[in-house]
Amino acid sequence: MFSYILPSPKILLDRNILFLPSFYKLFPLLFLFLSITLFSGCRFLEEPSVSVTRAVLHPTSSTLAIKSVGSLENRDLLLQASGWIEPDPYPIRLPALYDGIVSEVYILEGEEVKTGQRIVSLINEDAQLSLRMAIAELEKAKSKELEIVSELSLEKFALEKAYFEKLQAQALLDEHEDYLKRLETLPTGSISPFDLNRSRYTTNSKRFSLDATLSNINFSKERLTLLTHKLRSQKQVTEMKAIQVEKAKLDLNRTEIYSPINGRVLKLFTSPGKRLMQNMDAPDASTAVILYKDEKLQARIDVPLADAAKLISGQKVEITCSMLPNMKFDGRLTRISGEADLQRNTLQVKVQILNPDKRLRPEMLCRAKFFSKSETLSDSQNKDRLGVFIPLFLKPENNQSKANLWIIGKEGNRAEIREVELGDEIISDYISVKSGIQAGDLIITNPPNSLQSGDSVKVLRNQ
pLDDT band at residue 37 using 50, 70 and 90 as cut-offs: low
State the pLDDT at residue 13: 44
How many angstroms separate the CA atoms of 91 and 284, rounded?
14
Rounded mean pLDDT, 64-71: 38
Asked if residue 408 has pLDDT above 70, the reply is yes
382: number of Cβ within 10 Å: 17
Tens digit of pLDDT for each residue in 273-290?
999 988 888 888 889 999
Asked if residue 312 has pLDDT above 80, the reply is yes
Query: Is the pTM of the predicted complex or chain greater than 0.85?
Result: no
At residue 441, the 3 state secondary structure works out as: coil
Rounded mean pLDDT, 238-264: 94
State the pLDDT at residue 377: 44
At residue 414, the 3 state secondary structure works out as: strand
State the pLDDT at residue 131: 94
- Tell me the CATH number of domain 126-254, given options 1.10.287, 1.10.3210, 1.10.600, 1.10.8: 1.10.287
Closest CA to 230 of 299, 141, 342, 159: 141
pLDDT band at residue 193 using 50, 70 and 90 as cut-offs: confident
How many angstroms separate the CA atoms of 86 and 380, rounded?
27
Rounded mean pLDDT, 68-72: 42
Average pLDDT, the chain: 81
State the pLDDT at residue 278: 86
Rounded mean pLDDT, 109-131: 93
Asked if residue 150 has pLDDT above 80, the reply is yes
- Tell me the CATH number of domain 96-121+259-290, given options 2.40.50, 1.10.10, 1.20.81, 1.20.120: 2.40.50
State the pLDDT at residue 70: 41
Annotation: CATH topology of 49-59+385-462: 2.40.420
Domain boundaries, the chain: 9-45, 49-59+385-462, 77-89+296-378, 96-121+259-290, 126-254
State the pLDDT at residue 462: 57
**Between 91 and 44, where is the model more confident?**
91
What 3 state SS string does 281-325 have?
CCCCCCEEEEEECCCCEEEEEEEEHHHHHHCCCCCEEEEEECCEE
* Angle formed at CA 103 by CA 99 and CA 104, multiple of 5 degrees: 125
How many angstroms separate the CA atoms of 239 and 19, rounded?
121
pLDDT band at residue 179 using 50, 70 and 90 as cut-offs: confident
State the pLDDT at residue 252: 93
Range list of H helices, 315-390: 379-384
How many angstroms separate the CA atoms of 121 and 107, rounded?
11
Annotation: CATH topology of 77-89+296-378: Elongation Factor Tu (Ef-tu); domain 3 (2.40.30)
Measured in whole angstroms, how far is the alpha carbon of residue 280 from the centre of its chain?
A: 18
